[in-house]
Amino acid sequence: MPYLTPDAKNQLSRTIRALRVRLVTDLNNAAESTYRLSIAALDRAGLAEEQREKRRRLETWLDEQVRAEVAPQALSGSKLEKAKQEIRTRSLHNALKLAAATLLNRLIVIRQMEALGLLRTKVVTGGWSSPAYREFRDFAPDLCKDDTEGYGFLLQLLYDELALDLPGLFGRVGLTELFPIPASTLRAVIEALEALDPDTWRDDTTLGWVYQYWNDLEREALDAKLNSGGKVAPHEIASKTQMFTERYMVEWLLHNSLGQQWLAICQQNGWTPEAEADGTLDALEERRQAWREKRERGEVALDALMPIETEQEERWKYWVKQPALTGDKIPTSIRNLKLLDPACGSGHFLIIAFDLLFAFYQEEARHRGETWSDRTIVESILAHNLHGLDLDPRAVQIAAAALYLKAKVLCPKAELTVLNLVAANLNLAALPEDDPALVELRQAVTASTGIPEELTNQIVQGLKGADAWGSLLKVDDAVDGVIAAYERQLWKQGELFTSSSQPPASTVAVHRLRS
């Protein structure tokens, strides 16, 4: 697989940074032109019915963001109004950025799929000269009379098809569809992507670098803020901490963790690992020693990488001999191993782990004398092995797309029924108890599980801070404390145990909470 060279990364960085500025500016101007947002009163904006309804939807969402952030501040008067306006302005800007990023991510994923041979015909590659567009224009000329000459309509058809597998990226969800994309902007993005190094589209970490380069402007602004004595606000934490790990670092960590786990699984089952049986591990150690000696003699550059000769060596090139793992927590099968990246970002660790797991599955099948299809392996890895959590829903969106691409490359027929990826942007705990969103949540939980509304409310409060702390939040402690308090209350009331053949609803609720 071609990897991004330093020159290709620099070109990609320049392109993404420039596209971000262009996209956010153009979408902001288009939103103002379409919805007349500078006119505060909706009924005075003079909008047609469709635009009026879309703006009303946008205004409703902005009101929700204000409620979520203002309530804990206990402000009043002019300070309250100022805080509300600041939140609305920031929330609108964030929504515009999300729409801009979603457009770019969609086009990049499609461009990668085309380069990897995962789509029947090309739409983004070549843009308005692509085979798919030329065929569409000849077949449906009446649909090619808008500003994009029908290209936007064709893209939407492709989005709708891909949304069946990736609804978070390609589906008509959130506010993305509310922001119109000017035809000139769409052309500029397509042309900029066309100018990139062709190998960009075949590197499985490209999406992650796109995400980092998109965020670089915000991170640099935060660095300047900190250098001048400022502090990072809670909503800025994700932007400040989004730095992704180079491939060689990811591989080193995985070879010495996931790889070591695989050796332990083999030992537990009495199997000789193939990397040991075919001499790969010993050969790599000898060659590494020889390479170090060449480096010390000045025969190779200090930053030159040792050549890798086989796929087996590729999977173990950074492995360092260490004591074997032992204990009762070693799984008996690679199928039972769970890998969690608690700050997964765009999924670099998960993507590279996917290749290792795929090879270990195939090897385990050989050890067991069984046949596991590529589809079975890919779907099992996604359903059982790989898990990720991140503060930023955009990062999780990209990680899902990257895993989708990896799965389809390994097995085009694989179905993505489960992706164990979670974004920690809950926002519920910041709302007042009488907020409509919380009221609806409590009622829905009670109706479906019997769990009292007060318990749901306490659990939600226990999740306060998830937006900033992510996987560091001690959720189990909060939930266990709520359950224990509820059980003590039931014990005092004599409801926890009864002589009835049917347990009371309160006991059922406790069981459901614990499960």
CA torsion through residues 203, 208, 213, 216, sign? negative
Segments of 29-79 assigned E as strands:
none
Mean pLDDT of 42-49: 91
Structure-token pair, residue 486? 């509820």
Confidence label for 427 from pLDDT (cuts 50, 70 and 90) = low
**Residue 328: pLDDT band by 50, 70, 90 thresholds?**
confident
Task: Please say whether the beta carbons of 382 and 418 come within 8 A.
Answer: yes
Amino acid, single-letter form, for residue 348 = H
**What pLDDT digit, counting tens, does each position of 102-155 carry?**
999 999 999 999 999 999 999 999 999 999 999 999 999 999 999 999 999 999
Question: pLDDT, tens digit, for every residue of 464-497?
Answer: 655 555 555 566 776 777 777 767 766 666 554 5
Domain spans of the chain, in order of start: 6-203, 247-423, 428-514
Continuous segment of H or E residues that includes residue 421: strand 420-423
Encoded amino acid at 328, one letter: D
Q: Max Cα separation, the chain?
A: 84
At 115 the pLDDT is 96
Say how far apart CA 296 and CA 359 lie, in whole Å: 34
Q: Which residues contact 269 (CB under 8 A, 6 or more apart)?
A: 332, 367
Query: What is the rounded CA–CA span in Å between residue 249 and residue 402?
Result: 19
The arrangement of strands across the sheet holding 339-341 comes to: 339-341, 386-390, 420-423
Highest mean pLDDT among 62-71, 240-249, 258-267, 472-481: 258-267
Q: What is the pLDDT of residue 436?
A: 79
- What is the three-class DSSP state of 201? helix
pLDDT in tens, 250-269: 999 999 999 999 999 999 99
DSSP characters for 70-116?
Answer: HGGG---HHHHHHHHHHHHHHHHHHHHHHHHHHHHHHHHHHHHHHHT
Q: What does the pLDDT read at residue 221?
A: 66
- The pLDDT-based confidence of 82 (bands split at 50, 70, 90) is confident
The helix/strand/coil state of 452 is coil
Query: Half-sphere exposure of residue 366, counting CA atoms within 13 Å on the CB side?
Result: 11
Give the dihedral of Cα atoms 53, 56, 62, 68; nearest 10 deg: -110
- pLDDT recorded at residue 243: 59
pLDDT of residue 458: 73
Q: How far apart are CA 176 and CA 105, in angstroms?
A: 12
Q: Which range (36-50, 156-170, 288-302, 451-465) has the least confidence? A: 451-465
The whole-number pLDDT of residue 454 equals 77
Q: Is it the case that residue 238 has pLDDT exceeding 60?
A: no
Percent of the chain with pLDDT over 70: 83
Give me the pLDDT at residue 93, please.
Answer: 94
Percent of the chain with pLDDT over 90: 61
pLDDT tens digits, one per residue of 210-237 = 999 998 888 776 666 666 666 656 555 5
Cα separation values, 288 from 84, 274, 280, Å = 61, 20, 12
Q: State the residue for tokens 């153009």.
A: 26
Start-to-end CA distance of the chain, whole Å, equals: 43
Confidence of residue 463 (pLDDT cuts 50, 70, 90): low
Q: Report residue 133 CA to chain centroid gap.
A: 30
pLDDT digits (tens, 9 = 90+) for 285-323: 999 999 999 999 999 998 888 999 999 999 999 999 999
User: What is residue 417's predicted lDDT score, i.e. its pLDDT?
Assistant: 84
Compute the average pLDDT of residues 166-174.
Answer: 88
* Residue 231 confidence (pLDDT): 64
User: 199 near 4, Cβ under 8 Å?
Assistant: yes
pLDDT of 193 above 90: yes
Residue 7 in this model has a pLDDT that exceeds 90: yes
Position 64 scores a pLDDT of 86
Strand partners, 423: 390
Per residue in 335-385, pLDDT (tens digit) is: 999 999 998 988 999 999 999 999 999 999 999 999 999 999 999 999 999
